[in-house]
Every structure is written in C-alpha cells, then in structure tokens.
Structure 1
C-alpha cells in the first residue's frame, strides 16, 4: 500500500513511521510548513511533496493528518484532483468520514482511522502503536481492506458507526484527559493537607500505578476497592462533609459510577442507602 500524508505533525509523523516500520511504502509528505514535511520525510525515509496533487496521484491511501478544524478545508482542495479508487483517511477521534463530502460521487473511499492512544511525541509515540486498538468507520466497499491492512500489522481493530464517533471520542477523553484532571484534584487535596506539590505527586504515584496495573490486568470490577465497594456509608459521608463546591460534585458523580461497578462485584450487597447519600 502506497501511503501519503497531508500534514506533518505528531500524528502524521507517528503513523508514517509506524507504517514504514511495518513494511508499508510511504510515498511522502505535503505540509504548508515545508520544514515539517522535510523532517517527516527524513524520519520515514520518504519524499517531500511541494504540491498536494502529485502526492494524491502517487498514493493509494492518503491520510489527512491536520487539525480537526482544517480537515474539511484540505479535503475541499484534495477533491479537485483525481481521487478515483483512492482511500482517503483522517485520524480524528471526534470526526466521522462524512467530512469527506461527495467522495462516493468522485469514486473514492473515505475513512476515519483512529488509534486509541494519546500521541504525545512525534519521535517516539510510534513505538507504542503496536499495542493500540484502532477504530475505523467509512466506506463499506473498502472497510474490510482497511481492517485487514491494520490487522496485518498486529493491531486489534474495531469497526464503529459514524453516529458513535463523538461518544467514542468522549470515552477516550475520559480515560486519558479526564484522568489527568482527577489526579490533579487528588494532588491539590493533598497540598491542602500539608504536602508540597512535589511530595503530593510522589506520594500518589504508587497508588496510581498499582491501581492502573490492577485495572489493566484484572478489569475494573476486580480492581475496585475502597469505602464505596465496602458499602461504608459512614466514611463516604465524612468525605462529603470535608469537600466543597465543584470538588464535592465531582466526588458524588464519580462515586455513583463506582457504585455501579460495586454492584457488579458484590451482587449480594444493598447499595441503595449509599446511592441516596450520593444523590
């Protein structure tokens, strides 16, 4: 598969290098910032393209790896070229393949292909993509071709509906970005107890690592411990009494989700009173 990229940021770098390391032919990169395209081409041993049309012509699969708000604008330019038989993709978690308007009439095939992974470093994130799930949605005629393309590299692939893209992205944001917010809240509460920021961070590291490893290895239900799982309403009431404002609301809302997990783990326990307290 000859694969080209419009856009040479972190995602373009990472996917290009990952595909190249899995014996795919990277035709090259086009970017409005030529320096980025040169850098990405060197990183993937591919070419720099000075215009989009040549890149489209030379590629069987084209990734539009630009910020979400620019994808439609780039597509409106790309679709003025011959895209017949081409697989056109973006890697947005939130947008569906519908952003590629009129692609069926142009005899091309549109897809959103998203690695369920936080790409944070353009030079190193590709090393971790082998363990990532990919989600895909798009043209039914070529969906199995794209699925097979990713599976041959060893990735698990889930086909989702275009109507579920935003919910899917919300799930990813909760597991990634919102966890950062929760840990930030936890660290801040420790600083209110006398820890400095460095000590708060270091003190929580073992419990965070242990919990995440337990979740990964055993699943959320088996990993759950603590006062809610024990149905310890007295401790939960004490927590609520010491918290205020938004901190209290976060605790209550997340605790209700934890109750759902606790009910799966301990089917013989009645959590109705603790749910009333949290509501």
Structure 2
C-alpha cells in the first residue's frame, strides 16, 4: 500500500487554515452551550425586537403613515436592522468582558489556533442575530404585517441583514480589543447604534429630517440595508440597494478582519 504525504507547501498553507476552522467550530459550539445553560443571555435578542416593534409602531405609526397597520411596512424592516445592529454591538462588549475575566488567558495555554476564541465567539453570534430577526418578523406578523413577496423573500432579506451585521460585529470586536474596559465599549456601542439606527430611514422617512441629519442619513449604511430589505419583501427582487449592502459588508470584512487580527495578537 502506498502512502501519500502532503507536500511542504500544502502543510504550511492548509494546516493553519484547517486548524483555525476546526477550532472555530469547537469554540462556537462552546458559546452556544453557554447560551443553552444560561438562556437569560438571549433576553436582549428576544425582548428588544418585540419591544421595539410595539413601541415604534404605536408611537410613530399614526404620525408617519396615518395608522399603525400601514406603518408596519415601514417599521418591520427598520426594527430587524435596528435589533441586529444592537446585537452585533454586544460582540465587542462580550469580548472585552472575557478578556478582563481571564478567559482568553486560559485559551492561550491550550493547543488551539490563536484566533479561534475570537472567531468562535463571533461565529456563534450568528445564532443570536437569527433569533433577533425571527422575533422581529414574528412580532410584526402578529401585529398585522404581511410581506407582499412572500416569506421566501423575507428569509433571504433576513439572511442579508444577518450577514451585514456579522460583518459589522468585526468593527465592534476591534474596539473591544483596543479599549481598556467593558464599560467604555458599552458606552461607545450604545452611542454608535443609536446614531446609526435613528438617523436613518429605519423608523421615519429621511425627508422629514433636518438638512444636516438628512445628509447623514442618505449615506448611512443602515439606510441602504433597510431599503434593500423593503424592496426584497415587497417586490421580490435583489435591487441595487442589496448589492450595495453586500459590497459594503464584504469591504468591511476585508478591512477589519486583518486589523482585528493584528491588534488581537498584540493585545492578547
């Protein structure tokens, strides 16, 4: 029997990548097991979408669309994007808390890929985003929202938002590596999500905003993402907004994965 061994080039290029992928999956499972044993950690991705849906619909529905029912077509995509944006911002806070409590120091002593604790945590967060989007859509449906293009397009639109917000989570992860306390990143994350979420078309039409805020809202990535969602669930097409959102997400990954990796290796 002939045994074939990998070449040196294959060993040096493939082994680290395969090891990282395997360790990422293992640590992602660990994070999900933590959620299983501590379901209270899911309160933010379960209750916040429902609270946002009820609050925004009945606070702004009459003023913006004339009735709460008519406003649902506007607010459901906005709440999905808003809720997932807040969920992605928690990635940096959780990362900093794990660093402060010494969890990452324990990981350093294990024979695993150096980046695996970070990539495993961010990979597991995809489940949190899926849960948040599910409860946002379910709340809207119970309140009377009906997607014209069908729920297949709702699923596709949710996947788009999940992908983009996972890309954004790398930005917050970088901040979590750089700052010195979880309180600092929590404050920065809250401020960032409030500005990006409210100064967009997620809740109200941007034409009603003052000139300065309107100019910011037009270039706000959340505006493009919400527009893409609305087009997908009403017209059943992947418009330019969806392509722009995918491009923005891909560019974010290209920039922030290397930056996060560099500072992660320096700091951890």
Same fold flag (TM > 0.5): no
Q: Which has the higher helix share?
A: 2
| Higher RCO (C-alpha 8 Å, min separation 6) | 2
Q: Which has the higher strand share?
A: 1
TM-score, normalization by structure 1: 0.27
- Report the structure number with the largest CA radius of gyration: 1
